[in-house]
Structure 1
């Protein structure tokens, strides 16, 4: 579970950072990368993060 948590976080932040770089350089597929990164962050990483925090406190 922890490994999937770290891999999801890495890919989400990688896509967001790469999408920002592509936006600055005006390269194609920047919007797709940003959207996929934000979706992965909101639907994959953050729920797992808060679940781990909840399990640690319970």
Structure 2
């Protein structure tokens, strides 16, 4: 779980310290990607059904 707090920055939690750090690293990578995307123009939104499908694949197929 990750939370971005205004005027502060990210907080992450996880079942273990390793999981919390992994979440923090992923959060930073996503923030970097969004920042670069916005410099190139308006990012195109991904439809929610595609997000749900990709999340399900990541959780249940990828790396298994």
**TM-score normalised by L of structure 1:** 0.44
The structure whose Rg is larger is 2
Counting helix residues as a fraction of each chain, which structure ranks higher?
A: 1
TM-score normalised according to structure 2 size: 0.41
Query: Which structure would you say has the larger RCO, counting Cα contacts within 8 Å and 6 or more residues apart?
Result: 1
